[in-house]
Chain A
Amino acid sequence: MLQIKNLTVSIHGKPIIKGLNLEVKEGEVHAIMGPNGSGKSTLASVIAGREVFDVDQGEISYMGKNIFDMPAETRAREGLFLGFQYPVEIPGVSIANFMRTAINEKRKYLGLDPMTGAEFLRLMEEKKKMVEIHSKLTNRSVNEGFSGGEKKKNEIFQMAMLEPRLAILDETDSGLDIDALKVVANGVNKLRKKDNATIVITHYQRLLDYIVPDFVHVLLDGRIIKSGNKELAMELEEKGYDWIKKETANDAV
Chain B
Amino acid sequence: MSDKNDHILEEVSNAEYKYGFYTDIEMDQAPPGLTEDTIRFISAKKNEPDFMLAFRLKAFRHWKTLKEPDWAHVEYPPINYQDLIYYSAPRKRPKYDSLDEVDPELLETFEKLGIPLDEQKMLAGVAVDAVMDSVSVGSTFKKTLAEHGVIFCSFSEALQKYPDLIKKYMGSVVPYTDNFFAALNSAVFSDGSFAYIPKGVRCPLELSTYFRINAANTGQFERTLIVAEEGSYVSYMEGCTAPIRDENQLHAAIVEIIAHKDAEVKYATVQNWWPGDKEGKGGVYNFVTKRGICKGENAKISWTQVETGSAITWKYPSLILQGDNSVGEFYSVAVTNNKQQADTGTKMIHLGKNTRSTIISKGISGGQSNNSYRGLVKTSRKAENARNFSQCDSLLLGDQCGAHTFPYIDVGNRSSIVEHEATTSKISEDQLFYCLQRGIDMEGAIGLIVNGYAKDVLSKLPMEFAVEAQKLLSISLEGSVG
Contacts and interface: CB of A to CB of B under 8 A. Distances in A.
A91 B453 contact: yes
B452 A49 contact: no
A90 interface: yes
Given A88-B428, A92-B454, A72 B434 contact: no
B35 interface: no
Contact of A92 (B434, B435, B438, B452): B452
Contact of B429 (A52, A76, A92, A158): A52
A50 interface: yes
Interface residues of A, number: 31
Interface string B435-453: 1111111101000110111
B448 A162 contact: no
B463 to A, nearest CB: 15
Interface residues of B, number: 23
Contact of B448 (A72, A73, A88, A98): A98
Nearest to B441: A73
Contacts of B449: 90, 93
Given A102-B438, A105-B441, A141 B452 contact: yes
A72 to B, nearest CB: 4
B438 A162 contact: yes
B438 A90 contact: no
Interface string B403-433: 0000000000000000000000000111101
A67 interface: no
Contacts, number: 73
A148 interface: no
Contacts of A52: 429
A162 B444 CA distance: 17
Interface string A1-17: 00000000000000000
A82 to B, nearest CB: 5
Nearest to A82: B437
A142 to B, nearest CB: 8
Most chain A CB within 10 A, of B441, B452, B454, is at B452
Contacts of B455: 92-93
A40 interface: no
B456 interface: yes
6 contacts: A76-B437, A76-B438, A90-B452, A91-B452, A99-B438, A101-B440
Contacts of B452: 90-93, 141
A89 B449 CA distance: 10
Contacts of A73: 436-437, 439-442
B451 A48 contact: no
Interface of B: 428-431, 433-442, 444, 448-449, 451-456
Most chain A CB within 10 A, of B429, B436, B451, is at B436
A147 B81 CA distance: 60
Interface string A67-98: 00001110011000110101111111100011
B434 A101 contact: no
A101 B447 CA distance: 11
A109 interface: yes
B451 A88 contact: no
A102 B436 CA distance: 9
A61 to B, nearest CB: 19
Contacts of A98: 435, 438, 448
Most chain A CB within 10 A, of B437, B438, B439, B454, is at B439
A76 B431 contact: no
B437 A48 contact: yes
Given A73-B436, A90-B449, A162-B439, 10 more contacts: A76-B438, A82-B437, A84-B437, A87-B434, A88-B434, A90-B434, A92-B452, A92-B456, A101-B440, A102-B439
Nearest to A144: B452
Contacts of B428: 88
A72 B437 contact: yes
